Amino acid sequence: MVLLAFDDEGGRLPVRQSLAPAVRGALLAELLDGGALADRAGTARAAGQAPQDAVLRRLWEQVGAEPDRKWLHWVRKDGRESIREVLRGLEKDGLVEQSTDRVFGVFPLNKAALTADGVAAARGVRAAVAAAAEAAGGADAGRGALLAGIAHAGGQLAAALPADRRRALKDRLAALSADAAPVSAAVQRAVQDLQGAAASA
C-alpha cells in the first residue's frame, strides 16, 4: 500500500491522513487472507503461526494480545507507526531513501523518496492493482485484487487508475472491496471519520 501511494513523477510520498488506515487495512487483509488472522463475528483473532515478515508479525502479536477487538480498532491503531515500519523495511530492501528536514529550521519533517529500484517496484504494484480492477468477468487477480479492494476503500487508487477509469469501474471496485470484507469496511469507516473530523475542524 505504501508503494502504491508514492507519486509516480517525483517518487515522493504524499502526506495524507487516509494513508494510515489504508496501510493498516492492507496489513490486516494480508494476514486474514493468509490465515494468520480470523474473523469472529466482526472481531479479529490471531490464528495459525507467526508471520515471517517483521511488520506483519508485530501486528499479529498485537491482535493476539487483545483478542476479540473490532476490525475498526485495529485499522485505527498505530497507523503512523505502521507506515514508518513499512518504510524502514522498504529502505532496508533498497527501495526507499529517507531523510529528515526541518520546517522553519525547528520542526523535524521526515521525507521518503523512491530509489530507482523503488520506482520500478511501485510501477509493478500499480500495474497489478490496475490489472485486477480491469479484469473482465470478475476474474480473481490474487494479491492485486485484495490490494485494489483495500485501496478503493481507503481512497488510495489515484496513482494506479485515473479518475475516469475509477468512475467506469466503480462496480468492479465496489465488488473488490466487498471481497476484502470485513477489513475494507473498517478502512472505509476510518477514512470517513477522518474526513468528517477535518471538515468540521
Specify the residue for cell string 521525507: 111
Tell me if 4 sits within 8 A of 18, measured CB to CB: no
Beta-sheet strands, E only, within 6-54: 37-40, 43-46
Burial 26-36 (b: 16+ CB within 10 A, else e): bbbbbbbeeeb
Domain spanning 2-195 has what CATH number?
1.10.3630.10
Q: Which of 134, 138, 144 is nearest to 30 (CA)?
A: 144
pLDDT digits (tens, 9 = 90+) for 150-194: 999 999 999 899 999 999 999 999 999 999 999 999 999 999 999
The residues with which 97 forms a beta bridge, in sequence order, are: 113
pLDDT digits (tens, 9 = 90+) for 109-136: 678 899 999 999 999 999 999 999 998 6
Q: Which of 119, 142, 120, 122 is nearest to 132 (CA)?
A: 142
Q: Residue ranges per domain, the chain?
A: 2-195
Cell of 41: 463475528
- What pTM did the predictor assign? 0.90
